Amino acid sequence: MRLLSRILHHCSPRLEVTAHCDLPCGVYDPAQARIEAESVKMIQDKYQSNEDPEFRARAIQIKEDRADLVKHHLWVLWTDYFKPPHFEKYPQLHELFNKATKAAGATGAKSSSDPATGQQLLDYIAEIDKIFWETKQAS
């Protein structure tokens, strides 16, 4: 047993490394969500100005796909980039992400052709973007 203990002691890691994200932080950026949200709003605008039923059906499908991408990009930021110290410094962050993902989802821009819902989504993303860049400058 002593021999095994000695062998294991020599095999144990000597250096502990920690990181605040699972990849270099440069991979995270609210711009991805914003670009998709801009597409959602532009599609809503085009939908309003076109009466062709085939165009409208295609626009709805594309808008819904883009809204799902917005939610995906927001969830990645929320769950992978932002850490407990960020939520402590910005206590509104959880609620802001919740509102933004709902604004992209079935109760928001995904199910609505009203450009106002797309603008609301962009406004939430702009708030997240501001906080994101503040956290990047602090690190």
pLDDT per residue as tens digits for the range 130-139: 999 999 887 7
| Domain positions in the chain | 28-138
Query: How confident is residue 99, by pLDDT bands cut at 50, 70 and 90?
Result: very high
Answer whether residue 51 shows pLDDT above 90: yes
Q: Domain 28-138 adopts which CATH fold?
A: Four Helix Bundle (Hemerythrin (Met), subunit A) (1.20.120)
pTM: 0.81
State the Cα–Cα distance between residues 78 and 125, nearest whole angstrom. Answer: 12
- 97 is written with which tokens? 């992400």
Query: How confident is residue 16, by pLDDT bands cut at 50, 70 and 90?
Result: low
